[in-house]
Structure 1
Amino acid sequence: MPANSSVIRPRRGVARLMAALACLALVACATKPLVPYTTNTPPLALVPASQAGVLDKRSRFRETFCAVLEAHGKALPDYRPCEDALTRVGTEPAGTGAPVDLGESKRHLIAAVVPGIGYDCFKPWLNSQNAVAKHVQQFGYDAIMLNVDGLSSSKNNARQIRDAILAMQLSSEPGVLVLVGYSKGAADILEAVVEYPEIRSRVAAVVSAAGAVGGSALANDAEQYQADLLRYFPSATCTSGDGGAVESLRPATRQAWMAQHPLPKELRYFSLVTFPQPERISSILKSSYDKLSQIDARNDSQVIFYDQIVPGSALLAFVNADHWALAVPIARTHSTIAALFVTQNAYPREALTEAILRFIEEDLATSGK
């Protein structure tokens, strides 16, 4: 064995890890200049929310999130003042001024999160400690992760979501599940609620959180074998699944599916959009941000802002965080990687999740759902 092999191996390990991280951003997989894709008028891009069929609920959500941050945020990791946590875009409606109920939940909603591409590959490495669930449980809520194949198609994962929901032992009350789709997870959830009507009675709401509802242009020049680099994360046990993850993220795929599959009207839909200030984008994500900016600079490094919005949904907020910062807490367990590459990863996710659940509970109560 060469004398310097102990040095070579770690370097190779770091190189492999960074290649996998880059493909998680889809930037290492996309090698050609991006070409603007043809789509219908995107919500909020050219017209006000009301004219795009989107309900603008930003003012009340801001009141809710600010109240949660003020009451609980300073005791939690990654605290930010409310004005820095959310991005103001255009004319935001005035707040209601109504008090925010910060007491025990009456409905006991459960945030059931469907993660993005490759999550089961890097989950052991991430080691997130279930911090969000532990926080919201204090107030009568809960948060769980639904296990799906990180490298499979949305069609495959929709079936897995259906099976997981039907296997849950839930109360006899009307729907308590708030399905939160992060990144590709939003597409997986939308396919599930369309294809499997038997799960709808258990669902209180659907939330796109930086969701790839309209796909990501970065996927147009990526191939599945490149995404399979995510299988080389430390301790990864994931498989390639049906090999359809990248295809499911392509804008043409997502837009064709949306055009052919009307969403169930009995469910309520919400959109939480990541719209960071440029200085809030991590260094490793700046290249993918620049690539997407060839189409539209209003992106979170992975998805353009209007592609994150579920048609006909209620817009909760524009969040001042890049795509990873919203839901992938790399910096909390990997400080060296954070200092060098994932430089803007801090975000008050626990407070954000609490605010989402409190807002939806109030919204359901006032709508009589």
Structure 2
Amino acid sequence: MQFTRQVIAFLNARCWIGVWLATSCVFLGACATKPLIPYSADTPPMVLVPASQAGVMDKRGRFREIYCAVLEAHHAELPDYRPCEQALTWVGAEPAGSGKPVELGQSRRHLIAAIVPGIGYDCFKPWLNPPETVAAHLRQFGFDATLIDVDALSSATNNARQIRAAIMAIPAPEGAPRLVLFGYSKGAPDMLEALVAYPEIKSRVAAVVSAAGAIGGSPLANDAEQYQADLLRYVPGATCTSGDGGAVESLRPAIRKMWLAQHPLPGDLHYYSIVTFPQPEHISSILKSSYDKLARVDSRNDSQVIFYDQVVPGSTLLAYVNADHWALAVPIARTHPTIGALLVTKNAYPREALAEAILRFVEEDLGEPVR
């Protein structure tokens, strides 16, 4: 009987993976033959320049100090532990660290990571059954984490309204704000649209973090249509809907870059960027086809987004992370080890340590809380 249940569970997982593969192949463009960036003159003037010339502050050196300290302090109890040198990718000339000691005690600000998930998350969340270990880890040190629910398959504009409603529903704290908005994948443009469209939420936000964010969109979305993304509604146990039908369009590079050109970000907030820049051998086998397809534009991608399209203009660059797009935030191999061994082969990553390091960096960077 136990063997039978295991077989059924595996077949259900195979079914779900088949849906996800179809979505990766069709929705994300892995099987398309058209140019990933088609010819078009309908674009704002653009230029690809070094981050320092785009108003981006490079503080990778200090972040590395903090992340390495967190990893080494907690490695005995951390799942998916990696040495620091394997957890981050050296890109170009990384600035030196500050040499200051790293505070690993209790948080002074009690920051809360408010996470906006990526496209489709609400569709496969019941199957994934995430273990919530990041929040549990953070609470040991006076931090916390919560998920902001947004439509899995709706536009960034629609989801921005939901982010606004979720933030306004949280009682305003006494003193300095504690919420650190984390936008993962499509959750990052959803988050930025909320900040621009609803200025009333700014006073409740301490900082903004893009984690593998599709800030500039992804060329893989150019050949996709919404009905193809709707395949995710057939993941076993999914209850998500098509929403307003705008998720795919929201990820197209022309849409994202036009939005950035027309909507300056609020200047009174602190923005941070975590970029996934995996070594090619750290791409899961199931993601190799989309990685190769996107490599026709630039091989420095995480299987879904090119590295330079993940940086918020005017933000502080914290790290290039040696993880593919799923490994950064979606713990598939932990809850489904058979699928991890067969398909999601590079999904292991110390997410708990990374989240702690980000919040510790932000707390240090913000300085002492306003009383």
> Is the structural similarity TM-score above 0.5?
yes
Residues 113-134 of structure 1: CA distance to partner in whole angstroms, max 9, x if unpaired?
0000000001111111211000
Q: 1:40: which partner in 2?
A: 46
Residues 6-39 of structure 1: CA distance to partner in whole angstroms, max 9, x if unpaired?
9x99898555412322255465552234334677
C-alpha distance in 1 between matches for 2:369 and 2:334: 38
What pairs with 1:40-79 in structure 2 (closer than 5 Å)? Answer: 40-42=46-48, 46-47=49-50, 49-79=51-81
C-alpha distance in 2 between matches for 1:295 and 1:27: 18
Could you tell me how far 1:336 is from its partner in structure 2? 1.1
Could you tell me how far 1:268 is from its partner in structure 2? 0.8
Q: 2:251: which partner in 1?
A: 249
C-alpha distance in 2 between matches for 1:337 and 1:222: 26
CA contact (8 A) 1:26 1:219 kept: no
SS of the residue corresponding to residue 217 of structure 2 reads coil
C-alpha distance in 1 between matches for 2:350 and 2:15: 30
C-alpha distance in 2 between matches for 1:289 and 1:209: 18
The amino acid of 2:18's aligned partner reads A
Q: 1:21: which partner in 2?
A: 20
SS of the residue corresponding to residue 302 of structure 1 reads coil
174, 189, 192: which one aligns with 1:190: 192
Q: 2:344: which partner in 1?
A: 342
Could you tell me how far 1:358 is from its partner in structure 2? 0.3
Q: 2:302: which partner in 1?
A: 300
97, 113, 116: which one aligns with 1:114: 116
SS of the residue corresponding to residue 96 of structure 2 reads coil
Which 10-residue stretch deviates more, 23-32 or 208-217? Answer: 23-32
CA contact (8 A) 1:23 1:230 kept: no
Q: 1:262: which partner in 2?
A: 264
275, 278, 303: which one aligns with 2:277: 275
Q: Calculate the aligned-residue CA RMSD, in Å.
A: 2.1
Aligned residues with identical type, % of pairs: 68
> If the length of structure 2 is used for normalisation, what is the TM-score?
0.92
The amino acid of 2:47's aligned partner reads T
Q: 2:231: which partner in 1?
A: 229
CA contact (8 A) 1:16 1:232 kept: no
Paired residues in the alignment total 359
Q: 1:32 to 1:10 in 2, by over 3 A?
A: farther
The amino acid of 1:35's aligned partner reads L
Residues 149-198 of structure 1: CA distance to partner in whole angstroms, max 9, x if unpaired?
01000000000000000001242122211000000000000000000001
Q: 2:333: which partner in 1?
A: 331
Q: 1:92 to 1:127 in 2, by over 3 A?
A: same
CA contact (8 A) 2:109 2:369 kept: no
Q: 1:211: which partner in 2?
A: 213
Which 10-residue stretch deviates more, 226-235 or 207-216? Answer: 226-235
Could you tell me how far 1:368 is from its partner in structure 2? 8.0
C-alpha distance in 1 between matches for 2:245 and 2:288: 27
Q: 1:144: which partner in 2?
A: 146
355, 358, 361: which one aligns with 1:359: 361
C-alpha distance in 2 between matches for 1:77 and 1:198: 39
Q: 1:10 to 1:34 in 2, by over 3 A?
A: farther
Could you tell me how far 1:212 is from its partner in structure 2? 0.2
Q: 2:321: which partner in 1?
A: 319
Q: 2:91: which partner in 1?
A: 89
Could you tell me how far 1:367 is from its partner in structure 2? 10
Q: 1:335 to 1:103 in 2, by over 3 A?
A: same
Which structure 1 segments of 5+ residues have no match? 1-5
C-alpha distance in 1 between matches for 2:120 and 2:13: 18
Residues 32-65 of structure 1: CA distance to partner in whole angstroms, max 9, x if unpaired?
34334677223xxx52x32231100100000000
SS of the residue corresponding to residue 326 of structure 2 reads helix
Could you tell me how far 1:74 is from its partner in structure 2? 2.9
Could you tell me how far 1:307 is from its partner in structure 2? 0.4
Could you tell me how far 1:340 is from its partner in structure 2? 1.0
SS of the residue corresponding to residue 21 of structure 1 reads helix
C-alpha distance in 2 between matches for 1:176 and 1:11: 42
SS of the residue corresponding to residue 76 of structure 2 reads helix
> If the length of structure 1 is used for normalisation, what is the TM-score?
0.93
SS of the residue corresponding to residue 325 of structure 1 reads coil
